[in-house]
Chains A and B, each alone.
Chain A
C-alpha cells in the first residue's frame, strides 16, 4: 500500500511539473517571439507620427544604456495578393539595417540556405537544405536583409518588401513544421483558372493600398503601390506572420505623406487665390507659385530601441523618457511634448500585454485544474493511510502499551507520510524532469510506434512542443507533493493517536 501512495504522489508531481513546464515553455516561446520584432522599448506616436526622429535616434544611441535605435512606421492597409485576393494587413515601414540591429528581423527571414534540418525534418525534405537551391536562397536572404530585388526585365534593383510567411496562403505548412511553396491560381473573367508560375521571393509582387492622413489626422486620398517581395519572414507569432508586411521606410513615408515636404506661404486675405504667372522656362501660364517658407521634416510613427544586454527594461525606459524630454524641449511645437509622450514610451511587454496576459491566464487556469485533479492525491493518501492505520491497529496498541504517547504515534504516521511524500516527489520530479527534457523525442517515438501524434506542426505554430524546466517550479512542485502526502496522513495520524490502546490490543 505505501507503494500505491508513493506511485500516486509520483504521478501527480510528474503531471503538474510537465504541465507547468510545457505551459511555461509555451509562454516563454510566445514572449520571445513577441519580442523578436519589437526590440526593448518603442516610442510611439501613431498615425501622424513625429518629426526629427533622426535627431532623437542620435541622442538615444549616444547614451550608454542604449545599444541601437531605428525609425519605423506602423499603419494598416490593404494588400492585393497574386491571386487577386485583397486582405487587410499591418504595414511596417523599416530601415532594414538598423531594424535588424534593434530586432531579430534578419533571423526571421525564411527563405535562406540552411545546413541543419529543422527538428522534425528527419527526412531532410526542406528545400532550403538542397545545395542546388543554395545560390537562389542566398540571394533571397541578401535581398531580404537589404529589402531590395533585382527586376530581371529592367535590370534595375528595386526596393522590395518582406511579407509574413502565412499572408499569401501560398506556403504549405508541412508535417515537419516547414513550408513548401505553391503556385497561385488566378480566376479569369471567362471563368477559367490561370495557374501562375510565381515563387513570391523570386518573382512575386503585391499591391498595397494605404490611406494617407494630413497633419491633423484627417484622411486624404488612398494611395496604392506595387511592391516586389524580397523574402518572407516567420516571427513565431501566427497573428503577426499572417497579417504583416515590411516595406522600405521611404516608400511608406511617401505613401502616407510623412516624408519631408516644402512648407509654402498661406494665401493672404487680400490675395487672389486663383492668381497665375508665366513659367519662365516654358513660357506657359501656370498657377502662381507660392513662396517656400520652410521644410516640414520627414516623420515616423515609432522609434524602436534596444538597450544594452546588461540593462534592465525599466531602466532603459526611464532613460528613454529622460532623453525624450530633452529632445521635446529642443523641438517645442514640432514633436509631441514630454507629457503627451509619457504613456507612449512602451516596453515590449506593454506592447504584447494582451497576448502575454492571456497565455498567463491560460497557464494559471490549466494549472488550477490540474492542481484540483492532483489534490485528489490527498484523499488517495488519506484512504491508503487510513487502511494502513486500520491494519496496524494492534501494532499501535503494542506501542501504546510500551509507553508511546499519542503525539508520538501521530508523529510516526506524519513522518511516514512525509517519507512517502519525499520518495514519491523525488521520483515524480525526476520522471517529470526526464519527460519534459525529452518531451519531443518521447512524442516522436510515440508517433512512430503507436501513430499517436498530439503535437502536429500543421495545427500548432511551433514546430516542437515548447518546454521550460525551471528549478524553482520543480522545487515548488516537490514541496507541494510532500505537503500533500503529509496532509493526507494527518487524519489517519490523528485517528491512530486517539485509538484506545485496550481496544487496539484486542483488535482482530
Chain B
C-alpha cells in the first residue's frame, strides 16, 4: 500500500522519526452476522509538528482511522501481516486498555464534529474535566490551580473568558466547538485528532475555529491530524491524504 502525498508548506518537510506510524491496518465491523470491511490496509506516517488532513467521502473510513490512531479502537488481527499503530516508540496494538486510556489522557486530544460537551458541566468544568481524568480525583486536587489556570488561559485565548460559568446549552455552535478544542488541549497533548471540527458550523465560524486551531498548533508545535471532506480546509494543511473505500488513494 502506498500513499498519495500533496506536499505543501514548511510542515511537510519535517525530518526525523514519525510521531505516529500506521502499518497494514485493516478494520472490519460486524453488523449482526454481516462483516463490513472499512479499512483495507492503511500505511501512513505522521511527522512531529505536521498538519495532516485526511480527506474522503462519507464511509471511506476516515473516522475509523482517527479512532485507531487515538487508541479508541484496535485494528483487525492478522497473524501473517500484523497491523501496527505506533505512537513514537509505543506500539498501540499491544497496549493494555489501561495504557491506551493513559495514552489518550496524556498524549492526544480529540475534537469531534458535534462538540460532545457534557451538558451538566459549565464551560470551565467541561475543559478542566480533561485534567481531572489525567490526574485522577485525588491528583486533581494537587494540580487544580494549575489546570484551572491553563483552562482559563485557553478559554481566554479562544475568546470565551466571559462564558466560564455558562452551560453548553447557552453557547453558540462556534463557542461550543472552541470549548471542545480547549478541552482537547488542556493536558498539552503532542497530537490533536480532529474529526471534522468545522463540519457542523457555518463557513465564517468554521474559518474562525480553524484559525484558532492553526494558531495554537503553530505556537505549541502541535501535530494535527484532521479528518474532513472539505477541500478548502484540506488545502490549508501541510499534507493531504485521500481515503477512498478504506484505502489511501495512490495518485
Contacts and interface: CB of A to CB of B under 8 A. Distances in A.
A505 B72 CA distance: 10
Contact of A408 (B73, B110, B118, B133): B133
B102 A403 contact: yes
A405 interface: yes
A398 B116 contact: yes
Interface in A470-508: 501-502, 505
Contact of A405 (B64, B98, B130): B98
Contacts of A398: 112, 116, 118
What is the interface of chain B mostly: helix, strand, loop, or mixed?
Answer: helix
A215 B224 CA distance: 110
B101 A404 contact: yes
B133 A505 contact: no
A404 B67 contact: no
Contacts of A397: 116
Interface string B56-76: 000000001001001011000
Contacts, number: 55
B97 interface: yes
Interface in B81-107: 97-98, 101-106
Interface string B131-143: 0011000000000
Interface in A387-405: 394-395, 397-405
A118 interface: no
A478 to B, nearest CB: 25
Interface string A359-402: 00000000000000000000000000000000000110111111
A402 B104 contact: yes
B208 to A, nearest CB: 23
Which range contains the number of B residues in contact with the other chain?
20 to 34
B67 A403 contact: no
Contacts of B119: 395
Contacts of A403: 101-106, 130, 133-134
A404 B112 contact: no
A502 B73 contact: yes
B106 to A, nearest CB: 7
Contacts of B72: 400-401, 501-502, 505
Given A408-B133, A505-B116, A402 B110 contact: yes
A406 interface: yes
B151 interface: no
A2 to B, nearest CB: 11
Nearest to A405: B101
A402 B106 contact: no
Contacts of A505: 67, 72, 112, 116
B124 to A, nearest CB: 16
Contact of A394 (B67, B70, B103, B116): B116
Given A502-B73, A505-B112, A402 B133 contact: yes
B213 interface: no
B51 to A, nearest CB: 21
Interface residues of A, number: 16
A501 B64 CA distance: 12
A448 to B, nearest CB: 45
B240 interface: no
A399 B110 CA distance: 11
A403 B101 CA distance: 4
A406 B116 contact: no
Nearest to A404: B133
Contacts of B112: 398, 401, 505
A403 B72 CA distance: 9
B47 to A, nearest CB: 24
A406 B134 CA distance: 14
Q: Which of A395, A398, A399, A406 has the most CB of B within 10 A?
A: A398
Nearest to B116: A398
Contacts of A406: 97, 101
Interface string B238-251: 00000000000000
Nearest to B119: A395
A217 to B, nearest CB: 79
B97 A402 contact: no
Contact of B133 (A394, A395, A399, A502): A399
A401 B192 CA distance: 12
Contacts of B176: none
B63 to A, nearest CB: 8
B141 to A, nearest CB: 16
Q: Which of A399, A403, A408 has the most CB of B within 10 A?
A: A403
Q: Which of A395, A401, A405, A505 has the most CB of B within 10 A?
A: A401
B160 interface: no
A397 B249 CA distance: 30
Contacts of A408: 101, 133
Contacts of B129: 399, 402
A501 B183 CA distance: 18
Contacts of B116: 394-395, 397-398, 401, 505
Nearest to B126: A398
Contacts of A405: 97-98, 101
Contacts of B104: 400-403
Contacts of A394: 116
B174 to A, nearest CB: 19
Nearest to A504: B72
Q: Which of B72, B73, B129, B130 has the most CB of A within 10 A?
A: B72
B61 to A, nearest CB: 13
Contacts of B118: 395, 398
B127 to A, nearest CB: 11
Contacts of A501: 72-73
B119 to A, nearest CB: 8
A404 B102 CA distance: 8
Nearest to B106: A403
Contacts of B102: 403
Interface string B9-41: 000000000000000000000000000000000
A494 to B, nearest CB: 15
9 contacts: A397-B116, A400-B101, A401-B70, A402-B105, A402-B183, A403-B101, A403-B134, A406-B97, A501-B73
Interface of A: 394-395, 397-406, 408, 501-502, 505
Given A403-B102, A403-B106, A404-B105, 15 more contacts: A395-B119, A398-B118, A399-B133, A400-B104, A401-B70, A402-B110, A402-B129, A402-B133, A402-B183, A403-B103, A403-B134, A408-B101, A408-B133, A501-B73, A505-B67
Interface of B: 64, 67, 70, 72-73, 97-98, 101-106, 110, 112, 116, 118-119, 129-130, 133-134, 183
